[in-house]
Chain A
Amino acid sequence: MPVMITVLLLQLGVWVVLHNLVINTAITLEDLNNQANRYEKNIAQLNIEIAKATSLKTLAEKSQEIQLKPISEIINLDNSPLALVQESVLNQSKEP
């Protein structure tokens, strides 16, 4: 009789442990799934923000803000480093 009770208690114990394990695993999986969904949404949102920040439209606006000039204009500016370089190259080419 005590043996049977012990076996039953052991079975009950194993069942409780396994049941808890299954439930905990299910909860963890659910959590991970939710987290993955959240991250996926965050990544999608960040992708949109990156795309907007690196768009030619934004870059053009920023370059206007900091008064960036096209290279063709910079070359034509007097005393600009590029103009000086170009001038020195031209002078060199005139040398015999």
Chain B
Amino acid sequence: MSNNRITFLYVSFLFWAIIVSLRLFYWQVLSKDKFTFALEKQISSQGSVLPERGKIYANDDFPLVMNEDRFLLYAWTPQITQDFASVLAKIKPIIFNSEDEDRIELLKSNFSNEEKQWFLMKSNINSQEKEKIDQLNISGLQFEQESLRSYPEGSMSAQLLGFLGKDEVGRQMGYFGLEGFYQKQLSGLIGFEKNINGIFKWLEGADIEKEAKNGRDLQLYLDRSVQFIIEEELKNALTRYGAKGGWIVVMDSESGGIIGMASFPNFDPEKYYDYPYEFLSNPVISESFEPGSIFKPLIMAAAINEKLVNSDTKCDICSGPLQIGEYEIKTWNEVYHPGSTMEEVIKNSDNVGMVYVARKLGLEKMLDYLNNYNLTQATGIDLQGEMSPPVRDQKNWYPIDLATSSFGQGIAITPIQFITAFNSLANNGEVVKPRVVNKIISDKEEWHTEKEVVSQPLNPSSVNEITKIMISAVNEGEAKWAKPEGYSIAGKTGTAQIPVGGDYDQEKTIASFIGFAPADKPKFTMLVSLKEPSSSPWGSETAAPLWFSIAQKLFTYYGIPSTN
């Protein structure tokens, strides 16, 4: 009997052991994932760790864009034990001013509305203000941290930098300029944090975390002193010449680095949402224009390079206006110079003389050169928003198109395309890709951007010849009165009519000057354009003096001595 009882007990224990083992097998093996997930949900909380966005520095390591911790202040009304009016009275002197009266009224109505238990009281609160509010010890007030972009130089180079906004799901996203182009580099990688709660913290050890990787910093070619000079000069010039807008680009002649890029109207990147779209985009890379006479040196250089003309070649069609089909080509002042040399054609900015050059060059060669100057495609500058106006097929070019494009009308390009092509005249005939960023810097290493030669449309001897012609144009041309004395400058003025509805408006012009200096060993290439100047439509009376005034300051800044 006792043996039976022992056997019974043994069997029943065995039975229960098998049942328990099977159940454990089910829990621990078959349903492992389900229960692990349920356990993790109970004992841990998860969240993402946001990386710090990369900063942007000028070439002297001065920060142009930094990150600043700011806070959003929320009210959680069930926890507010004090009278809301007294809460407002306490925090008002810290974060509100007289302009916020409407907002305070709105907050009061929010508080009296029982449906609104959680509402935003104020955004953009700095650390000191937060600390003062913390010291008041008011229950029910809660802060949420956010990282905002801070611009020590204010709106300087805003269109080049771009701005930081939000995407459709509320994540930070760079738009336009550098912020847009380098979004991936600047934004870094989001980290992952898993906090273990209670007793399990001791069992599991430390919090499990995948570290966030901060964004990479950018160091630019941009020189903030040069940028400051060109922005101030452009601002003053708009008033002085009554222009509607304008742009200035300064490029390092050798490397293609952008030393300065300014355009007006522009915007405040901290309040980008207050500005219309056209203020946000950078006209230097996104607006097409007909360059006018500043285009002439490129065509002349092409003809010299092909050995079709030289400085002394005489124009045999320059004695009067030229009829092409139903169109008549005239000079800008309707003064004609029979038998002009090519040097005089550039000096007098002679449209008829340029038609002579274009005819010598021929359409096929001209299109080849436009292609080699890289004017038929985007430059690939490291800024978001670059566009490239389409170029007509060869079969759609008519004799009048060949004629007008020789003096920069009927052909549309962006300012950055033009200065990139023109810079080849300052750089031994090489077209160099323009660049804004010099270095990309991470926590551990840094990368230099490489100089990239896109093409070489001209040989050095042709470049020397066109440079001499342009020096003579500056020394003896229309704008010679404004030129800084004792400096050798190669450049060209231009006044382009603006196409309106398929025709040209005689009153509306874009006045420009492009050049490089010192001409024998160029330090910088600069393009200055003013839109619709009202004091005078001519580039020689508006853009050229502005160019020379800036150049004088740059000579002093770079310590380039005068030969006088």
Contact = CB atoms under 8 A, between A and B. Distances in A.
Interface string B53-89: 0000000001100111100000000000000000000
Chain A, interface residues (CB within 8 Å), range:
10 to 19
B153 A57 contact: yes
Contacts of A47: 63, 66
A56 B227 CA distance: 10
Interface in A45-87: 45, 47-48, 51-52, 54-57, 60
25 contacts: A41-B69, A44-B67, A44-B69, A45-B68, A45-B69, A45-B127, A48-B68, A48-B150, A48-B152, A51-B62, A51-B63, A51-B66, A51-B152, A52-B150, A54-B62, A54-B152, A55-B62, A55-B152, A55-B153, A55-B154, A56-B228, A57-B152, A57-B153, A60-B228, A60-B232
Contacts of B66: 47-48, 51
Contact of B127 (A41, A54, A55, A60): A41
| In the A-B complex, the 7 residue pairs with the closest CB atoms | A51-B152, A55-B152, A56-B228, A52-B152, A55-B153, A57-B154, A51-B63
A56 B68 contact: no
Q: Is the interface of A mostly helix, strand, loop or mixed?
A: helix
A57 B232 CA distance: 10
A54 B60 CA distance: 13
A91 B224 CA distance: 39
A48 B62 CA distance: 11
A51 B154 CA distance: 11
B225 interface: yes
Nearest to B224: A56
Interface residues of B, number: 16
A54 B62 CA distance: 10
Contacts, number: 37
Interface of B: 62-63, 66-69, 127, 150, 152-154, 156, 224-225, 228, 232
A60 to B, nearest CB: 7
B403 to A, nearest CB: 45
A55 B63 CA distance: 9
Given A41-B69, A48-B68, A55-B153, 15 more contacts: A44-B68, A45-B68, A48-B66, A48-B150, A48-B152, A51-B62, A51-B63, A51-B152, A55-B62, A55-B154, A56-B224, A56-B225, A57-B153, A57-B154, A57-B156
Contacts of B127: 41, 45
Contacts of A51: 62-63, 66, 152
Interface string A17-46: 000000000000000000000000100110
A93 to B, nearest CB: 14
A39 B140 CA distance: 28
Contacts of B152: 48, 51-52, 54-55, 57
A56 B68 CA distance: 20
A51 to B, nearest CB: 4
Nearest to B67: A44
Contacts of B69: 41, 44-45
B163 to A, nearest CB: 17
A57 B270 CA distance: 15
Nearest to A59: B228
Contacts of A57: 152-154, 156
